[in-house]
Structure formats: structure tokens, C-alpha cells
Structure 1
Amino acid sequence: MTAGTKPVGTKTADAVVIGGGIMGASAAHFLARRGFGRVVLLEKGRLAGVSTGHSAAIVRTYYSNSITLELAKRALHMFENDRDLLGGDCGFRPIGFLLLIGERLRAAGEHILESERRHGLHVERLAVENVAELAPPLSLDGVSYGILEPRSGYADPTRTTENLVAAARPWGLEPRAGVAATGIRLHGNQAVAVETEDGTISTNVVVNAAGPWAGQVGAWLGLRYSLRWSRESDLLVEKPADFGELPVVSDPGLRVYLRPCGEDRIIAGLGAPKDIEPVDPDDCDPGLDPEMRERIERPLFERLPALSRARHLGGYASLYTITDDWHPIVGPEPGLEGYYAFFGGSGHGFKLGPPIGEALADVICGETPEIDLAPFRPGRFIDGEPLTSAWGEGNRG
């Protein structure tokens, strides 16, 4: 078949988004909201079925580079106004986000504190005694001070994704769960169609939001993305009686994070700076193995001794898709028309997905977004301009 020729029976769309996680759902939602026309969202499994659905879904703003901080600020506003901006109640619980800072990370913590305040965010520096008042169950050995984001918290990642999709249906979004993309066709350097298991969709706009499989999608066009994958695990424990309330807690010194999960459970995982647990995206065991359970429990119980007596409720594992600087790859590829990258959340894609999707929709529509996505452009590594973090390597901060 000649490139660019429209096969008999080909369906048409104004845009096709490949991948039904938070990033794909966000891009599709905001394109449809902008009145772009018929937007088809392809997902080979179910919406939020892999990385997104297993996200801890923490919504916080502690970042040390300007672009990510601005996006996180926008994300917080979106979740605070989820019914108007994200399509419905996303289960956002603004219980606060508490960062525990030890002496080794004092300078990084001060940098974060200054950055957040400079960007107009309400953030508080807490003395150790004030941290103890806020979160009595915590053991504060080795903690020099705390940073509190009182407006932050967590959301429901699956509900958020489903809301984005459902709300945009009247505007032209057509979700196709259970339908995998199998190729992208070009006419010259212009995207003209997406091949699927269910036939061909003619389109001039394709968004690659395929998460762990984004590299495979890019390879259809001869693109080679530098991506790694990590098996990321979380465990669940029963909240002890008389335990009290906690905000979301991140402890970069012990490299552990935790948050409430409903009324009677605590979810916890290894925190940043992160070590990569290499995995094949097509062969990732979704269970929590005993070794990883022990690795999470060790710092968790050190920081929260009461949980060492709590009932273990299981856990799970999923995937991080990690770029070379631990920040997403977003935007058009030089030399290709109608193709846009949107993947590589590296563990913080959930909160950033909606504001990036909003800004990317502006770019696709030929408008200038309020938040410039150029720092996330695919070519930044070739240009020698990777993003950096005050926390160092293996971190998204």
C-alpha cells in the first residue's frame, strides 16, 4: 500500500492518543475540551491499568527546578478544583505533605523551601517540636526540621483518569479500551494514520503517551528514546487503633514515603533518591516479593515504630518509565509533523499529567501555553540541557 493512501473503510480522527494512563487521558481530555474535534484514545488494556493505577498519587509541590514547580503548582490548583478542571471528584484529600529534613540534606531542603516561596506557594518550615505536634506517631531521630505543604495531599489515580475521559466524551473524546495501536504511518514526514488491532485510523495528529511502551511506539517512526524501567513496589499495613492522623510523609534521609489509604490503612514505599530495580515492561510481576517488603519495612518501622506491630495487608508492584534526567519527555520531534511525545513520568507523572496535558493541547492547537514545555522537549539531551534536581541523581525533585 502506498504511504499516505487511505484504505477502504479507514476511520478518521482529528487526533489519536496512544496510551490510557494519566498522561494519555490528560492529553485527550484537554484536546477535546479545546474543541479539537474527534479525539480517539487507544489503550491496549484498561484505563489506568499499569503505572497510573498503582501510583501513590501524591499531589505535592516540593520541586527544585522552575518548570516542574510551576507545573506542580498548577496541578495542585487543578486537584483543588477537580470537578471543574478534571471532570469530577478525583478523591483529592488535602491532608498536607510533610518533608523530613536531616542534617545531610539541610541545604537541599532550604533550597526547596526558598523555591516554593518564590513561586508564591504556602509552605512552612517546622521546628522538630512542631513536627512532633503535627505527627505524634513519628520517631524524629535524625530529623533537623520539617517542611510542610498544608494544601497538598493525595488523590485517587484511577478515578482521576476515568473522570478525565468520561467528562470529555461530549466534547468528542472516544476512548477505545482493549484496542492496541500497532503502527504509525507517515506520508513524507507527516503522520497520516495509526494502525490498530481493529483497523486503521486516519489522522494528522498522534500523541505517544504509551508509558512503558513509548519506546516501541517511537521505534515505528525510527526514533530511539533512552528509557529505563524500574519495578516499583508499595506495601499496605492496617492502621493501628489510637494511631492518630498523619499527613503524607516523605523522608529522603531514610528513603521512604507513606500516606494514609482510606480510613484504616497506610501505604508505604521506598522514596527518593531512587535506586532502579530493572524490569522488562512485558514481564513485570505485580506482586510484592518478601525481599522488597523487608526493604520497605526497615525504614518505615524506624520512622514509625508503631507500624511494626500492625497487620500486614499485602502490596503490589508496578512500573516506572525513567528518562535520563528523571523528567518527562514532552513535545514535537524535529523533522516530524503531527507527532508529539508525552511519556517518561519517572515516578511523578500522576500529578504532572493534567497540567502537562493542558499545556500540550495548547501547543497542538497552535497556541502558546501558559507554562512553556520547552525544557521537556525530546531534544534536550542532545542539546546538553537535561533538567537537574537539588536532591541529586535518581530523583524527580
Structure 2
Amino acid sequence: PWIMEQVYALGQALLSRMKVNFVEDADTLMHDFREIAPTFVLFAPRVWEAVAADVRARMMDASPFKRALYERGMKMGLAALDQGTHSAAAEALLFRALRDRLGFTRLTSAATGGAALGPDTFRFFRAMGVPLRQLYGQTETLGAYTLHRGKTVDFDTVGVPFDDSIEIRVLDPDRNGIGEVLARHANMFHGYYKAGPDTPSDVRDGWMHTGDAGYVDRKGELVVIDRIKDLAVNIHGERFSPQYIENKLKFSPYVAEAVILGAGREYLAALVCIRYAVVAKWAEKNRIAFTTYSDLASKPAVIELIRREVEKVNAGLTDVQRVAKFVLLYKELDADDGELTRTRKVRRGVINEKYADLIDTIYAGAPSYRVDTVIRFQDGTTQRIRTTLPVIDLTAAPAILAAAE
């Protein structure tokens, strides 16, 4: 449900007569992908993250020998990537077979767009030999207008304009050069459907006001940080990007979604959703009995597992960006509940409103939060959930986990 569907599945298909394949079902995506082995693919960041998480999850079930080969191959591949090359040894040891398993054997071009993709996930696929590049644009501008050029990809940028006819500038930059990204070119839309003359427009004086915060780096590449409305400032006046930290957390195979809190607060906290399929497999392997998603997320061993993952991420962040507390949610965030967009971006306003009591509990210093709610599924059935969510304080984790047990 975004502009790239219209560009590739309709417009480009008619212009170039390329063959467009549609998966049979969302659950058969990767199986169909391997069967087709396409030459070009455009995935939203959440799909790339899910594929990477699935690979790492499968390795948990592999034999010790295969896990050792995987770890060795990835280590060599990432080291070669950092040197701007591709490891022939890693290719023979791991990547050729892995690409075949995923359906990437014939891939000559791959892209991501619609939201920011975490640098760790980007490096994972580039090291594997997937020619992944990032697009940036909006539906109002007929899709993308920037792209990484050549073989060198900067994981922190979205590349450069397609050609000289596309203009990009940063409005009202601060002392670090960060401001609102504006774009202009000949193929932009004329306006919103049925919008009257008095309706506010994102296009002013011919420039598309994207609503994204970013800057142009020294190489002339555009860096998009986050939505302007989502950039946050803590109580000390220090700015941070929730999306950047969330992407770091979601590189873990055990984390499906994360929402960073902390605007106007003393410290950062996170609402975390486990990746059910992966954590369930981990629990079965460790002989942990469970029944439902909410039951699994409440297990002390699972809480400890996620605590270790959050601490790994914290180790690579600055003091301002580190997560001090987190809670494992009793359900997955869902687009049907308005918590995510259809491209699976977090709707922060909805989250802040829907989970206001939980958020207040976290920042009040309480050790836990009592949940008594009813979930309605798409088929009309309902389920009542009664549980207690421990608030995990990373500065005093052992005591809190002991209380949870």
C-alpha cells in the first residue's frame, strides 16, 4: 500500500514488460521467493529485518559444526566488507549456500525504502553479497529520488539524487546542520485529492516539505535521521532519535518491535515486543513451557534473554541514548490496532495514548504494572489477558528479575 507498488508492479512492468511475481500468501513469502529467484527485489526495512532474524534463528537450531562455520564466515565477511572487499573464503564457506537458501542467487539489484534500515542489518546483507542499496522519497514525489551510487554504500545515508534535475535542501538547519528535508523536481504530484484551496499542503513554493529531519554530509549524501515530530529531547535538553535506537534493538533475532520513550523525561525506557516464532523456538530448546504469546513474554528466562540483548545494544550507545528501563509487552504491535502503519512504522502518538498508564508506571518507579484487558482478533474472537508486566531496571536487573520469579 505505497507508491513503490504502483511504480514497479504497474508502471515499470508496463514500460519494460518485466515479469512481476506475487507471493501466494504472506506466510509463504520466503518459500515463494526462493522458487522465483528474482533479479530485483524491493523490501521494506521490516522484511529485511525479519529475513536476517530468521537466518540467525535457524542457526540456533543448527549443529555446533554448522554454527561454527556460520560464525566464522560472517566474521570474515564483515571484516572484508569493512575493507571495501568481498571475502572469497567466506563466499565458499557460507555465503554462496546462504544466498541459494534465501533465493538470492540471481539477484543483481536490491533496495530498501519506506523507513530507515538499521546499519547492522545493512552490513549483514552487504557482507553476504546482496547488492542492497537504500532508496528515499515520498508518495507525493512519485516515489524515490535518492539512491546509493556505485559499489560503495554508506549505511548511515540514503545516497544522492538520481540526477541534476532533482533539488534537495535542508530548511532552517541547527548548529549541527540538521533541519527539515525539502525536495523539488518536475514529476511531483499536483496536490491531494479533493483538497480545497484552504487545505494545508506539504508543498509550498514548489518544495515538498517531507517532515523528515536530516542533513547533507561532507560527501554530498543525504542523511535522514527521523521524522521531525518523532525527534525527542530529554529533560536535560539533549536530543536523541528514538528510531535509531529502535533499529539497533531490532537487529536482535529475539526482538520484533521496540518503542523508545523518554521525551521530556529523565532517562530512556523501551516497550519491547518479542519475535514470537524465534523466542518460542528458543524456549522449546531450553525446555521452557508456555501457552500463548503473553505467557511466553512473561517468563523470567525470556525477560533475562531480552535484558542481555538490550545491554548489548546499550554498550554501543552514548549515555544519552542508553535504555535505562524496559517492559516486555503482552501482545505484538499491530497495524489493525492502529499501533503501526501499513509499512510497519510505529505510530508514536497512538502508542503514547494507548499505553499511557503503563508509561506513567515506568517513570513513577514502580516495579511492575498490572494488565487486565481484552484483545479482539480479526476474526471477531476475543481474549481476556490478565498478567503482571515487570518493569526491568537495567541498573538493578538481578533484584527485579528475582522478584519476577
TM interval, shorter chain, is under 0.3
Q: Which has the higher contact order (CA 8 A, sep 6+)?
A: 1
Normalising by structure 1, what TM-score? 0.26
Structure with the bigger percentage of helix: 2
Normalising by structure 2, what TM-score? 0.26
- Higher alpha-carbon Rg: 2
